[in-house]
Structure 1
Amino acid sequence: MHDAASARRDVLAQIEKAAGIAGRLPATVNLIAVSKMHDADAIRPLIAAGQRVFGENRVQEAQGKWPALRDETPGIELHLVGQLQSNKAEDAVALFDAIHSVDRPSLVAALARAMDRSGRRPDCFVQVNIGDEPQKGGCSIGDLPALLAEARSATLPVAGLMAVPPLDVEPAPYFALLAKLARDHGLEGLSMGMSGDVETAVTLGATHVRVGTALFGERA
Structure 2
Amino acid sequence: MTTSDASRRLADIESRFDRAAALAARPAGSATLIAVSKTQPVEAITPLIDAGQRVFGENRVQEAQAKWPALLEKTSGLALHLIGQLQSNKAEDAVALFDAIHSVDRPSLIAALARAMAKIGKRPACFLQVNIGDEPQKGGVPTAGLAALVVAARAAELPLAGLMCLPPADLEPAPYFALLAKLARDHGLDGLSMGMSGDFETAVAIGATHVRVGSALFGPRA
Percent identity, please: 70
Q: Equivalent residue for 1:9? A: 11
Q: Following TM superposition, by how much is the alpha carbon of 1:4 offset from its aligned partner in structure 2, in angstroms? A: 1.4
* Aligned counterpart, 1:150: 152
Q: Which of 20, 25, 28 is residue 26 of structure 1 equivalent to? A: 28
2:99 is aligned with what amino acid?
Answer: D
TM-score by length of 1: 0.99
Residue number in structure 2 paired with 1:61? 63
When the two chains are superposed, the root-mean-square deviation of aligned CA atoms in Å is: 0.8
The Cα shift of 1:138 comes to: 0.2
Counterpart of 1:30 in structure 2: which amino acid?
T
- State the one-letter code of the partner of 1:178: L
Question: What is the CA–CA distance in structure 1 between the aligned matches of 2:221 and 2:174, rounded to whole Å?
Answer: 26
| Letter aligned with residue 176 of structure 1 | A
Q: How far did residue 114 of structure 1 move?
A: 0.2
Query: Which residue of structure 2 aligns with residue 49 of structure 1?
Result: 51
**Displacement after TM superposition at 1:26 (Å):** 2.0
How far, CA to CA, are the matches of 1:174 and 1:21 in structure 2?
Answer: 19
| CA distance in structure 2 between the aligned counterparts of 1:64 and 1:91, rounded to whole angstroms | 12
Unaligned ranges ≥5, structure 2: none
Q: Report the 3-state secondary structure (helix = DSSP H, G, I; strand = E; otherwise coil) of the residue aligned with 1:75.
A: coil
Q: Which 4+ stretches in 1 moved above 4 angstroms?
A: none
Q: 2:72 aligns with which of 70, 73, 86?
A: 70
Correspondence for 2:184 among 176, 182, 185: 182
Partner Cα separation in structure 1 for residue 157 and residue 47 of structure 2: 38
What is the SS of the residue equivalent to 1:200? helix
| Structure 1 residue 115 corresponds to structure 2 residue 110 | no
Q: 2:85 and 2:130 mapped to 1: Cα distance?
A: 12
Match of 2:139 in 1: 137
For residues 148 and 172 of structure 1, what CA distance do their matches in structure 2 show? Answer: 24
Residues 87-118 of structure 1 show CA distances to partners (whole Å, capped at 9, x for unaligned) of 00000000000000000000000000000000
Name stretches of at least 5 consecutive residues in structure 1 with no aligned partner. Answer: none
| Distance in structure 2 (CA, Å) of the matches to 1:172 and 1:68 | 39
Corresponding position of 2:105? 103
Aligned to 2:194: 192
Aligned length, in residue pairs:
220
